[in-house]
Amino acid sequence: MELSASSAFDEIRRVEEEVRKARRHFGTTLLITGLAAAPFWWTQLLAPDWVRNAGYVVWIVGGIVLYAVPRGDRHRGQVSAAWYTRGWVALAFLVFLLPPAVGLGLKLGGVDGLDWLVALLCLVSGAPAIYAGWRFRSGR
């Protein structure tokens, strides 16, 4: 098939837009995860029981909606950035494991009065995901 220069340009622009859409979607998912991480861990580690239970339900339902429900657009494949692929384990560790690990460690060790440290970790836990989401959305 003969491909003219202008149709080659049109195809390049179309594909670039598809990639931009996918990156924006992925970035938004990371951003929401990061923004939700701090309040979630706060409810799980520092709040009263009823707030903890409510936070848990919201986190699970939100996770299903965000990650498991099929998207409106047709893409199921993924785009990524090299730095994200290399760093996702560290990101997942910060978002999902560090706050409960430290919280549980303090509880098991019988250490009191360090709620400020747990609160700080809750706050920090979402920061890498927020940063990654921002970079994906801005195409960096």
Give the tokens for residue 116: 């400020």
8 CB neighbour count, 10 Å cutoff: 10
Site string for other proteins, 81-110 (x = CB under 8 A): xx--x-------------------------
CB of 108 to other proteins, least distance (A): 30
Give yes or no for residue 12 binding other proteins (CB under 8 A).
Answer: yes
Gap between the Cα atoms of 70 and 64, Å rounded: 10
- Of the candidate spans 27-35, 38-46, 73-81, 94-102, the one that interacts with other proteins by CB under 8 A turns out to be 73-81
Give yes or no for residue 70 binding other proteins (CB under 8 A).
Answer: no
Gap between the Cα atoms of 119 and 115, Å rounded: 6
Gap between the Cα atoms of 23 and 28, Å rounded: 8
Give yes or no for residue 53 binding other proteins (CB under 8 A).
Answer: no
Give yes or no for residue 79 binding other proteins (CB under 8 A).
Answer: yes
